[in-house]
Structure 1
């Protein structure tokens, strides 16, 4: 299995996030990738640079105005005399108007963002674009016949919706990969999200579609981010009704309960009979993750990879969360080697 990696991820660095009421340094940091890279190299997984597919595949799943905002946001910030990192100071929530995009940068931030935990810095677009190209390259490898490929993306992507960003995510790498596989002729594609946090952005993008199944196993939104999506009764709408499956689990979930739920999620994927699979691979389900509350141990990640491999599908792994930095590499490599060794 090849790993697709770009050093441009490191350009997204710095800033603070508002985490459960406190302004703190970002948990999503460049060193996460360095630990993963070292672990996959140690596991013997070859590394390659991403190809450049340009903007067109990104615009297949994201709004053009939203993408233009991400490309120019920091320049607009500097144009009003600011520097450093950008966080919104107001949001287009419930009773606020959502049919008009403000012209000022502070209003635009609150229009497109849905949290104050996802800072934009000068290099954010470069890093996000490179991450999307990594996901596209991994998808291309699978479309060309590789049984599996791994996109070491940073920043992550599964919280980014059609025209929104949050949860450390700007471009939805998993959704971009899934759409690319569709465009390469795969009639049905499934996205299986095993990150601790619900993949609300992926759900948003494919909510009314029957050709891409979205399945997410995650911490209950009753207490866990993103709080307002991820309930079991969210099944899709229109043509997509029945093609979205959420499996929320309580804080403290350990391997036995998680494994049984993962088997349910895998059964939902199998019933859909997809021609390819995208795995949104977060390892923040680990017991020592600082912003999550499951109790999976290091030994469980190879078992997770083997369970996913049991589907027998061409598979694209796309990196999402995992914030126990010292262990993140071993846990990611555990999933990948467990998949390969099945």
Structure 2
């Protein structure tokens, strides 16, 4: 097992987020990564400091103008003569018929909702979040027969809501999509299984018309729940990608056994696809006491989840994404890791 992280991921410190007509205190904050890092430390496991892979894998997935906005938008925002807030944050959402002339137009074009503000150090953190994920993918590319079948990336901010040219849902760069594309020269078939509480509409959008990357997502029903407009069962993919996009929306209030009924259905899709590599988007926001939870997974449930993933017997890269019950992240991550290591 290899575990990766990078300290620069802590630099992004959002001030607030806007949802359902209210300004909320930030939930996606640096303390999340601090709590997650306690788990491998407590278990005596080494955490590898991620090295820089570069910008090219990011640009292979995301539009150039969007990446440029993420990198330079804050400086343009602060340079405005008018009084502005501490972060790039829009109240106008207009991705189409928008030439992006000026920073306010760019924000309207590239920010999909009120939960992905851009501060002074946001680019640094999201860039190193992507680099952390890329380190695991790079290790697989450089090995002959993969010897490290389990690699865990403590990535923050998360990525699965990030679309090809839009930030939202606390996400800016789509790490799962970036590493899936990066792995393609060596591995023909990639499966992404997503068990975060929320549907990863960004992953779905990027691979919707492709059959070389299978997406299977277990998440809370998106009816009146983020991301609101995607994640339904009937969304199966398009063209040659039809059937390779699989959504398993859970009714709100689903218990742990119900959660695993959906997980088993997603795993069955992965087994049928028979991928060369599995990418797992792990959300601790399915935990019963998480402020975002609409289901009731216990700490032991994460042990149970990793045992099921281990049984796939495939090289797997785990991206730790959602999870906002900070006081339980350490314990829950230890339980998850134990499912891979306990009988080794």
Length-normalised TM-score, structure 2: 0.95
- Asked if residue 140 in structure 1 is aligned to residue 141 in structure 2, the reply is no
**Cα distance, 1:142 vs structure 2:** 3.1
Contact 1:142 1:315 in 2 (8 A): no
Give 1:5-84 correspondences, 5 Å limit.
5-81=5-81, 82-84=84-86
Which stretches in structure 2 are left out of the alignment for 5+ residues? none
Contact 1:207 1:237 in 2 (8 A): yes
Contact 2:286 2:292 in 1 (8 A): no
Contact 1:73 1:105 in 2 (8 A): yes
Contact 1:141 1:149 in 2 (8 A): no
In the alignment, what sits opposite 2:167?
A: 165
The superposition leaves residues 96-132 of structure 1 with CA deviations (integer Å, 9 ceiling, x where unpaired) of: xx14322121121111111111111010000000000
Once residues 217 and 199 of structure 1 are traced to their aligned partners in structure 2, the CA distance between those partners, rounded to angstroms, is 9
Q: Choose from 123, 126, 131 the match for 1:125.
A: 123
The superposition leaves residues 159-202 of structure 1 with CA deviations (integer Å, 9 ceiling, x where unpaired) of: 0011111000000111111111113x101000000100001101
**Cα distance, 1:83 vs structure 2:** 5.0
In the alignment, what sits opposite 2:189?
A: 188
* SS at 2:214 equivalent: strand
Contact 2:280 2:316 in 1 (8 A): yes
* SS at 2:151 equivalent: strand
- Asked if residue 102 in structure 1 is aligned to residue 94 in structure 2, the reply is no
* SS at 1:291 equivalent: coil
**Cα distance, 1:336 vs structure 2:** 2.3
**Cα distance, 1:41 vs structure 2:** 1.7
**Cα distance, 1:339 vs structure 2:** 2.7
Give 1:229-248 correspondences, 5 Å limit.
229-248=230-249
Contact 1:247 1:265 in 2 (8 A): yes
Contact 2:4 2:153 in 1 (8 A): yes
What is the number of equivalent residue pairs in this alignment?
Answer: 337
Return closer, same or farther for 1:194/1:117 CA change in 2, 3 Å cut-off: same
In the alignment, what sits opposite 1:91?
A: 93
* SS at 1:318 equivalent: strand
Length-normalised TM-score, structure 1: 0.96
Once residues 337 and 203 of structure 1 are traced to their aligned partners in structure 2, the CA distance between those partners, rounded to angstroms, is 30
Once residues 79 and 157 of structure 2 are traced to their aligned partners in structure 1, the CA distance between those partners, rounded to angstroms, is 25
* SS at 1:251 equivalent: coil
CA RMSD of aligned residues (A): 1.3
- Asked if residue 294 in structure 1 is aligned to residue 292 in structure 2, the reply is no
Which stretches in structure 1 are left out of the alignment for 5+ residues? none
Once residues 295 and 157 of structure 2 are traced to their aligned partners in structure 1, the CA distance between those partners, rounded to angstroms, is 22
Once residues 14 and 170 of structure 2 are traced to their aligned partners in structure 1, the CA distance between those partners, rounded to angstroms, is 12
Once residues 14 and 112 of structure 1 are traced to their aligned partners in structure 2, the CA distance between those partners, rounded to angstroms, is 17
Once residues 223 and 244 of structure 1 are traced to their aligned partners in structure 2, the CA distance between those partners, rounded to angstroms, is 22
**Cα distance, 1:148 vs structure 2:** 1.4
Give 1:327-338 correspondences, 5 Å limit.
327-338=328-339
| Consecutive aligned runs of 4 or more in structure 1 exceeding 2 Å deviation | 99-102, 141-145, 339-342
In the alignment, what sits opposite 1:221?
A: 222
